[in-house]
Amino acid sequence: MLSRFLDQPGPIAFAHRGGAAHGPENSWAAFEQAVDLGYRYLETDVQATADGTLIAFHDRTLDRVTDSSGRIADMPYGAVAAARIGGTEPIPLLEDLLGAWPAARFNIDVKDEPAIQPLVRVLRRTVAWDRVCVTSFSSRRLHAFRCCVDRQTCTTLSPVGLAAVRSGAWAGGMSGRLARAGVRCAQIPARVASPAFLGLLRRAGLQIHVWTVNEPALMRQLLDLDVDGIMTDDTVALRDVLTERAQWHGAPTGHRGG
């Protein structure tokens, strides 16, 4: 059975790291503001602590965005939990985010190999398979995740797959192979979103999501190219652009229902 992650009306508006233009990235405050704006889709990242606790956090170390330091995979959760994003915000657990907003869908970027097994365990405990799409900048991590799950879960085309499509190395029959593997979408940086490349991805049967787009003019340009989703830090700007085009499909503010 196919995941229902992408079954809502598009274009999809993704709050990148919760909407990092309006709150500390990947913080509870950022996610909450995005939900209050009506965002149905939240983008985040995952890392795992030394004792296997899965947190919503981008970097492998705490140094850049918190008042602490150290490599997360080498630290117990108790030490990581003491860190504060921007000096004020606790680091959320992915499981808590899934539980807080059961109507929201989460695009999850696996940032390090130690996070793979904890992510699978969280998805099993929360039965959130249809509410997530798993992606990674590592083809190896994506492959490892797919090998660990016993049911089809929405995933993105791997970096190797993107390169193959762009070069023309993949041709007929690719759509069926990707669908059987659970690959439902391609997520690409705005700089490579040319009409030609978008056409190749569509012929592969994939939805196309573009990141990270914070300028309204570029949002409009991409929407004119019929992309299926945009990831942004500036959640207010994207909502306004979609609203002016009658393409905003946000949920009632503060949506929590299943």
- Which residues form the catalytic set? 16, 58
Strands (DSSP E) contained in the chain are 12-15, 41-48, 54-56, 84-85, 89-90, 105-110, 132-135, 154-156, 183-189, 207-211, 229-232
Give me 170's structure tokens: 């993949």
Question: What is the 8-class DSSP label of residue 114?
Answer: G
Quick one: the chain helix, strand, coil %, rounded to 5? 40, 20, 40
What angle is formed at CA 143 by the lines to CA 133 and CA 211, rounded to 5 degrees? 40
Strands (DSSP E) contained in 83-237 are 84-85, 89-90, 105-110, 132-135, 154-156, 183-189, 207-211, 229-232
